[in-house]
Structure 1
């Protein structure tokens, strides 16, 4: 991945708080999940909203990007990946 992305550490998803769906672009279910979120301008992680395009790092060290209301896995939070 090229360029610099400012990421926020968000921890693990709390099942009692609102978190937008997380998917891989290559998932068979990706299109179905994407339709469920209706092209929202933000994603939620533990009831905190993040704008489309924002990158976050979860506690499992996954780099996620908000894309129209859906978190998309973009790789790891390894500095070499950012």
Structure 2
């Protein structure tokens, strides 16, 4: 299972490419809106994240996550739910 920290790192790497921010300076609790990501860009981020980490998740539910940290925690909970099933 992939840790929340590893997922956050992957999210920040993608955000770095999309927003030209230094990954180390990305506030993991800052809203995706503050990075200038509209809903279409967020779907692209989720698609890339899914491919990069080989994770399956509900994109519609993931879009409700407001920040890199919240998204990482959601994805960890999704992994745990799949393991229990």
TM-score of the pair, normalised by structure 2: 0.29
TM-score of the pair, normalised by structure 1: 0.29
Query: Which has the larger share of helix?
Result: 2
Query: Which has the larger share of strand?
Result: 1
